Amino acid sequence: MTEMSYLDGNMLDGPLRELLAVDLSAATGRCASCGMVGPMAGLRVWAHAPGLVGRCPSCAEVMLRLVRAPDRAWLDLRGATYLQVPMPTAEPFPRPL
Amino acid sequence: MSPGFQGRRRTTDPALPPGQYLTEDFPVLSAGPTPRVPLDRWEFVLATETGDEFRWSWAELMALPQETPTVDIHCVTRWSKFGTSWQGVSLDVLLDGVDTAADYAQAHSYGGYTTNLPLDDLRDGQAWVVHGYDGEPLPAEHGGPARLLVPHLYFWKSAKWVRGLRLTVEDEPGFWETAGYHDYGDPWREQRYQGD
Amino acid sequence: MTAAAPGGRVAAPLGWRVARLAQRRIETPTAQTLVLSVPGWPGHLPGQHVDVRLTAPDGYQAARSYSLAGPPDGDRIALTVQRVPDGEVSPYLTDAWAEGDPVEVRGPVGGWFVWRSEQTAPVLLVAGGSGVVPLMAMVRARRAAGSRAPFRLIYSVRTPADVIYADELRTRARDDFGLDVSYVYTREAPDGWRGEPHRIGLADVNTHGWPADLEPLCYVCGPTGFVETVADLLVGLGHPTRRVRTERFGPTG
């Protein structure tokens, strides 16, 4: 069972939306280790741990860590080079120059 | 408040650090896939701040004097377990004859996990590299072939699947210590998170 | 049905809301559907879940995630909860929680494992045990929206007595045009069943699913090992990983 003890990145939405106004589980992320691009919902999340650990489904490196204390939270995204978040259509920033 | 909800049993046993509850089973915590390390490829490496390395194969570890500590363990996720029985080698034995001016150690594991401790907390009968639990070989889900056992600190310091120690002059925070957890992690002072 | 985040994915930070038990339905010896009254509920999409939090008199708290079982009915939402024998939260919800008593809920959450009624592609739903709950929400939403998207549900259960929503699935398989339902029994099959009880395999997914060239969307929900097996089978049959959406269940309750 220990090899199977992870969950999907879907479950990150609730814990992350305590911090952010964006559903990051619906965002696309790029793994800093292997470069794979895919939905954050597709991360493998180890939740039986002192924090949530989201790993790349391709190379298993850590892309996201979230630790929640009663009065604080830590979000570590150093394992993700970017997040692409779907947004309502609006003028881009910076504006065309 | 949810009427009638008690949750897990919580006691005020004086052997329980603050905020902990007692458990009879042995929860498996894991931040990643369980590494599988064949014993003929296993090794433990102690590296000093000057680059000296001391290596033990599985057979060499087994040939060292063995101890059978029975200790209480305290996980930062709030469970504690009393009277756990282990078998392994004291860090005093492994550090014997190692010439170092380092004040800190960073334990590193098969699978990439790290955690940091003051070197003094690994001496004087406070820490072991254990390979047996309850008279049996340590199961992989609990850190086998071998894990660190430092029971006076929160259990995340007792690195599973331990592969070695790097002795360092500066304190170098490990996997959880860089993500909000306390640098030292004394359960009796409830040092769970940074600043506690 | 309203969506939590209709256009983009931007929504307000989530807080906890007070919910009270409005109704309890027994589904199987170990599963119950709990209807919660949640004033101000913002609506949700099929496949989303909620976090439920309990608070003891001394302030101790425990939270778990549960899938929403169907479209909201005004301020009312339905969860189907499988009782985990040694669990901390599910036994309270199924055995001790009384009508009118408060718990807290946070949600809806999860913007990926959802089906939207404007989607027209064929859909394959593969459920392991109580993993049927969010998939049933999709089946119910499909009918409620008048969708013509063809749906196939493969439902793996231990025994016939473990089938959640058994009567409703029987009725819908007859009345919901374009919905097929098939079962895999792992331990004990009903009388007259052809074949032996078995774990889900290639033949089940191949026979009762969609060919990959129809480009279906696949939703797989169940225990981690089950999801792993089915997702591997689907990818092996040529379904692109991006069209295989998974929701694994954790071991605690």
- pLDDT tens per residue across span B133-145: 999 999 999 999 9
Nearest by Cα to B84 from B44, B142, B125, B11: B142
Is the pLDDT reported for residue B168 higher than 50? yes
Question: Is C230 among the domain residues?
Answer: yes
Which residues does chain C have within 8 Å of residue A53's beta carbon, measured at their own beta carbons?
none
Sign of CA dihedral B157, B163, B166, B167: positive
Tell me if A2 and B34 make a contact (CB, 8 A cut-off). Answer: yes
Considering only CA atoms, which of C169, C154, C161 is closest in space to residue C229?
A: C154
CA distance B195 to B55: 36
Provide the pLDDT for residue C222: 95
Neighbours of chain C (3+ CB pairs under 8 A): A, B
Whole-number pLDDT of residue C224:
87
Domain of A10 in residue numbering reads as 2-81
What gap in Å lies between CA C122 and CA C120, rounded to an integer?
A: 7
Encoding tokens for residue B174? 């490990």
**Is a pLDDT exceeding 50 seen at residue B186?**
yes
Contact across the interface for A9 and C5, Cβ inside 8 Å: no
Low-confidence winner among B10-14, B138-142, C19-23 (lowest mean pLDDT): B10-14
Domain end, chosen from C109, C133, C148, is at C109
Give me Rg for the CA atoms of chain C.
Answer: 18
How many Cα atoms sit within 13 Å of C165 on the Cβ side? Answer: 28
In this structure, is residue A88 part of a structural domain? no
As for how many domains chain C has, the answer is 2
C253 pLDDT band, cuts 50/70/90, is: low
Q: Are residues C160 and C219 in the same domain?
A: yes
What is the distance between the alpha carbons of residues B103 and C242, in angstroms, rounded to a whole number?
49
For residue A31, what is the enclosing H or E element? strand A28-31
Please tell me the predicted confidence (pLDDT) of residue C4. 42
For residue C250, the chain A residues in CB contact (below 8 A) are 7, 47-48
Confidence of residue A23 (pLDDT cuts 50, 70, 90): confident
Tens-place pLDDT, residues C183-205: 999 999 999 888 899 999 999 99
Same domain assignment for residues C128 and C225: yes
Q: Is residue A6 part of a domain?
A: yes
- Res B9 pLDDT > 80: no
Q: What's the structural domain count of chain A?
A: 1
pLDDT at position B46, please?
Answer: 98
Q: Tell me if C198 is assigned to some domain.
A: yes
Closest CA to C43 of C86, C88, C102, C3: C3
| pLDDT recorded at residue C213 | 96
Query: How much is the pLDDT for C6?
Result: 38
Instruction: Judge whether B75 and B155 are in contact, CB under 8 Å.
Output: yes
Task: Inspect the interface and report whether the beta carbons of A8 and C242 lie closer than 8 Å.
Answer: no
In a domain, C12, yes or no: no
pLDDT band, residue C12 (cuts 50/70/90): low
pLDDT in tens, A28-81: 999 999 999 999 999 999 998 999 999 999 999 999 999 999 899 999 999 999
Q: Measured between CA atoms, how close is C103 to chain B, in angstroms?
A: 6
Residue C87 sits in the same domain as residue C194: no
Looking at the structure, do residues C99 and C173 belong to the same domain, yes or no?
Answer: no
Boundaries of domain holding C221 = 123-249
pLDDT bucket at A5, cuts 50 / 70 / 90: confident
**Domain for residue C135, yes or no?**
yes
Select the residue of C60, C62, C96 nearest B4 (Cβ to Cβ): C96
Tell if the CB–CB gap between A2 and B181 is shorter than 8 Å. no
Identify all chain B residues contacting C55, using CB atoms and an 8 Å cutoff. Answer: 1-2, 5
pLDDT of C114 strictly over 80: yes
Interface of B with A in 79-138 (CB under 8 A): none
User: Which pLDDT score, from 0 to 100, does residue A4 have?
Assistant: 54
Q: Percentage of chain B surpassing pLDDT 70?
A: 98
Domains of chain B (ranges; CATH) run: 39-189 (3.90.420.10)
Whether C179 and C151 have beta carbons less than 8 Å apart is answered as yes
Whether residue C1 is predicted with pLDDT greater than 50 in this model: the reply is no
| pLDDT for C250 beyond 90 | no
Cα dihedral C188, C189, C192, C194 in deg (nearest 10): -120
Report whether pLDDT(C7) > 60.
no
Helix (H) / strand (E) element for B44: namely strand B43-47
Average pLDDT, chain B: 95
Which of residues C3 and B185 earns the better pLDDT score? B185
Beta strands in C9-48 (DSSP E): 17-26, 31-37
Q: What is the pLDDT of residue C44?
A: 95
Instruction: Answer with the one of C85, C109, C133 that is the final residue of a domain.
Output: C109
Counting beta carbons within 10 angstroms of the beta carbon of residue A63, is it exposed (0 to 12), middle (13 to 18) or buried (19 or more)? buried
Q: How far apart are CA B34 and CA A55, in angstroms?
A: 13
- Which distant-in-sequence residues (6+ apart) come within 8 Å of B61 by Cβ? B44, B89, B129, B131, B146
Average pLDDT over residues C75-92: 92
Question: Does residue C151 sit in the same domain as residue C222?
Answer: yes
* Residues B18/B10, Cβ–Cβ less than 8 Å: no
Rounded CA-CA distance C92/B38 in Å is 44
pLDDT range class, residue B113, cuts 50, 70, 90: very high
User: Please, which pLDDT band fits residue C11 given cuts at 50, 70 and 90?
Assistant: low
CATH number (domain holding residue C190): 3.40.50.80
User: Both C127 and C237 in a single domain?
Assistant: yes
B147 with B158: CB under 8 angstroms? yes
Mean pLDDT of C35-55: 94
C148 and C238 share a domain?
A: yes
**In terms of Cα–Cα distance, which of C88, A75, A16 is closest to B77?**
C88
HEC-encoded secondary structure of A21-58: CECHHHCEEEECCCCCEEEHHHCEEECCCCCEEEECCC
CA atoms within 13 A on the CB side of A22: 13
Query: What pTM was computed for the model?
Result: 0.86
pLDDT score, position A2: 41
Quick one: which H or E segment has residue C140?
helix C132-144
**Residues counted in chain A:** 97
CB contact under 8 A, A8 and C248: yes
Residue type, C226: F
Closest CB from C14, C112, C249 relative to A41: C112
Cα dihedral sign, A48-A54-A55-A58: positive
What's the average model confidence in pLDDT over C64-74?
Answer: 93
Q: In this prediction, what percent of chain B has a pLDDT beyond 90? A: 84
Using CA of residue B94, residue B95, residue B99, residue B104, what is the dihedral sign? positive
In a domain, A91, yes or no: no
> Where does the pLDDT of residue A94 fall: very low under 50, low under 70, confident under 90, or very high at 90 and above?
confident
Interface contact A73-B34, CB threshold 8 A: no
Q: Which of C51, C77, C109 is the last residue of a domain?
A: C109
Q: Could you read off the pLDDT of C161-181 as tens digits, one per residue?
A: 999 999 999 999 999 999 999
* DSSP state at residue B193: B
The answer on C151 and C225 residing in a single domain is: yes
Element (H, E) at B58: helix B58-62
Residues C148 and C195 in one domain: yes
Q: Is residue C2 part of a domain?
A: no
How many Å apart are CA B125 and CA B127, to the nearest integer?
A: 6
Whether residues C60 and C134 fall in one domain:
no
Residues C102 and C24 in one domain: yes
Could you tell me the CATH number of the domain that includes residue C42?
2.40.30.10
Same domain for C222 and C165? Answer: yes
CA distance B57 to B39: 8
Contact present, C55 and B5 (Cβ < 8 Å): yes
d(CA C70, CA A78): 37
